[in-house]
Amino acid sequence: MGKLDFVKEEIERLKKEGLYVTIRTLESPQGAWIKVDGKEVLNLCSNNYLGFANHPVLKERAKKAIDELGVGPGAVRTIAGTMKIHRELEEKLAKFKGAEATLSFQSGFNTNLAVIPAIVGRGDVIFSDELNHASIIDGCRLSRAEIVRFNHADPEDLRKKLEEYKEHPGRKLVVTDGVFSMDGDIAPLPEIVEVAEKYDAITMVDDAHGEGVLGKSGRGIVDHFGLHGKVDLEVGTLSKAFGVVGGYVAAKEEVIDYLRQKARPFLFSSAVTPADVAAAIAAVDILTDSDELVVRLWDNANYFKTEMKSLGFDIGISQTPITPVMLGEAPLAQEFSKRLFKEGIFAQAIGYPTVPKGKARIRVMISAVHEKKDLDFALEKFEKVGKELGVIG
Ligand SMILES: *Cc1c(COP(=O)(O)O)cnc(C)c1O
């Protein structure tokens, strides 16, 4: 028996259960069509909602930032890593979101690890939607607060649980995804905020998939529901619709000031590079100027989803461009994905633990860079494979 034998055993188990993820390698920039493992395929699984990942304006600004400011930040933000360009991004994001202030981090994942443990700790209680993203779950665990899960998107269940803890002396935090990344449904934020307010709980939403998608010109879920000033902490990512990499939190100036002192990834991990920041600023500028890309994204999504439904596919409860094609067992989802790839479609299967057991799916991500003929190509292939595998009649 070797001390690392468990590694091999676990990998074998994953393979047997259809849960071993084949990691494909891209040989081209992000776009509607990409080269993957030597093959040109239609890209239906990136989070590049608006095409910013390879946008000429973002690339130009990133290059300019490298020429003017170099490639590395050189330090953590609190020592010597805060450049003027970081502050510029944070101010622009605040204006865009209609928030008092923002603070940026290295990723959305890091933002949750940064914010949650700074806001609650031992003796406090977190009320967390049962389907929240892994980074929220990890942020909650890291905080050492008690974690109470409420039923998915269920403000009444949240109310019951808050009631149970009414006399609890610690701070209370209610946290939810804005758009749930695997199902594409939108959190009932107005109701959640109303309940949380009654029990004097702090509110936090992680809008990673609502950023650039929901609200006026992609201003996100708070804008979508007109809840400006009502959500205490609004986390966003710069790695999805914004096309670059990074994360941020929007809140009152005082809260941001506090996070600058307390958020550990801000204090102990280096800042993002000038090129990333410059590109993110360009994305904010483009969205501030025009909603053209966001409108195109929704037109594409509405078209694709309507057609998939009429083909007979179960696309779940999505209210956004995220389109889960529900298949049930993980091996079927993997087989479906493999056949699609042979037909020239890149759409990854997603299984446990990313989604619950028995709810494996192919998650289709629609983008503004898709053309109608691309979507028609995808529909044709989904129909073909769906019939071959007996998923549709
Ligand atoms: C993708 C995602 C993140 C992570 O964002 P990154 O910037 O990629 O680290 C965080 N929260 C949610 C809800 C997400 O969907």
pLDDT band per the 50, 70, 90 thresholds, residue 153 = very high
Predicted local distance difference test score (pLDDT) of residue 354? 87
Rounded percentage of the chain residues whose pLDDT exceeds 90: 95
Q: Say whether 198 is catalytic.
A: no
The model carries a pTM of 0.95
Atom of ligand 1 nearest to the CA of 247: 7
Nearest CA to ligand 1 atom 6: 108
| CA distance readout (Å), 109 to 116, 146, 215, 334 | 11, 20, 22, 26
**Using one digit for the tens of pLDDT, what is the confidence trace for 311-334?**
999 999 999 999 999 999 999 999
CB of 130 within 8 A of CB of 151? yes
| 33 burial via Cβ count (<10 Å: 0-12, 13-18, 19+) | middle
Q: Measure 234 CA to ligand 1 centroid, in angstroms.
A: 13
Is the distance from the beta carbon of residue 382 to the nearest atom of ligand 1 less than 6 Å? no
Q: What is the 3-state secondary structure (H, E, C) of 264-275?
A: HHHHHCECCCHH
Average pLDDT, integer, range 285-289: 98
Give residue for tokens 């506090």.
258
Q: Over 90: is that where the pLDDT of 17 sits?
A: no
Q: Is 177 in the pocket of ligand 1 (CB under 6 A)?
A: yes
Does ligand 1 lie within 6 Å of residue 236's CB atom? no
In angstroms, what CA-CA distances link 146 with 10, 182, 265?
A: 30, 26, 22
Q: What is the DSSP string of 97-134?
A: HT-SEEEEES-HHHHHHHHHHHH--TT-EEEEETT--H
Least confident piece of the model among 4-18, 255-269, 270-284? 4-18
Q: What is the 389 CA–ligand 1 centroid distance (Å)? A: 32
Q: Is the CB of 351 under 6 A from ligand 1?
A: no
Mean pLDDT of 374-392: 97
320 lines ligand 1 (CB under 6 A): no
Query: Does the beta carbon of 135 lie inside 6 Å of ligand 1?
Result: yes
Say which residues have a Cβ less than 8 Å from residue 250's Cβ, sequence separation at least 6: 93, 94, 97, 99, 100, 101, 102, 233, 234, 236
How confident is the model at residue 19, as a pLDDT?
79
Condensed to tens digits (0 to 9), the pLDDT of residues 300-309 reads 999 999 999 9
- Confidence class for position 26, pLDDT limits 50, 70, 90: very high
Distance CA 210, CA 187 (A): 10
Query: Which residue has the least CA distance to atom 2 on ligand 1?
Result: 208
Res 268 pLDDT > 90 = yes
Question: Does position 1 have pLDDT exceeding 80, yes or no?
Answer: no
Residue type at 130?
E
Q: Is 183 in the pocket of ligand 1 (CB under 6 A)?
A: no
The catalytic residue among 143, 181, 239, 367 is 181
Structure tokens at 134: 């892994």
Compute, in angstroms, the gap from residue 133 CA to the centroid of ligand 1: 7
240 is annotated as an active-site residue: yes
189-242 residue pLDDT tens:
999 999 999 999 999 999 999 999 999 999 999 999 999 999 999 999 999 999
Nearest-5° Cα angle at 326, 324 to 329: 130
The Cα 158–Cα 201 span in angstroms is 11
375-386 mean pLDDT: 98
Alpha carbons 206 and 237: distance in angstroms, whole number: 9
Which atom of ligand 1 has the smallest separation from the CA of 133? 13
How far apart CA 388 and CA 383 sit, in angstroms, is 9
Mutation test residue for ligand 1: of 45, 213, 239, the one with most atoms within 8 Å of CB: 239
What is the C-alpha separation between 55 and 218, in angstroms, rounded?
17
> Strands of 233-237's sheet, edge to edge?
101-105, 247-251, 233-237, 202-206, 172-177, 125-129, 146-150
- The CA 356 to ligand 1 mean position distance, Å, reads 18
Other C-beta atoms closer than 10 Å to the C-beta of 199 total 17
Query: 233: helix, coil or strand?
Result: strand
46 Cβ below 6 A of ligand 1: no
Q: Residue 158 is encoded by which pair of tokens?
A: 């949240």
DSSP per-residue letters across 235-273: EEESSSTT-S--EEEEE-HHHHHHHHHH-HHHHHSBPPP
Q: Are 358 and 328 in contact (CB under 8 A)?
A: yes
CA of 172 to the centre of ligand 1 (A): 23
**DSSP secondary structure, 315-349, as one string:** -TT--SSEEEEEEESHHHHHHHHHHHHHTTEE--E
111 Cβ inside 6 Å of ligand 1: no
Q: What percent of the chain has pLDDT over 70?
A: 100
Q: Say if ligand 1 is within 6 A of residue 363 CB.
A: no
Question: Which pLDDT value is given to residue 85?
Answer: 97
Nearest alpha carbon to residue 222 among 367, 94, 48: 94
State which H helix or E strand residue 296 sits in. helix 292-311
247 Cα–ligand 1 center, Å? 8
Q: 């935090």: which residue's tokens?
A: 173
Over residues 368-385, mean pLDDT: 98
Do 321 and 51 meet the contact criterion of CB atoms below 8 Å apart? no
pLDDT average, residue stretch 255-260? 98
pLDDT class for 353, splitting at 50, 70, 90?
confident
- Separation of CA 135 and ligand 1 centre (Å): 7
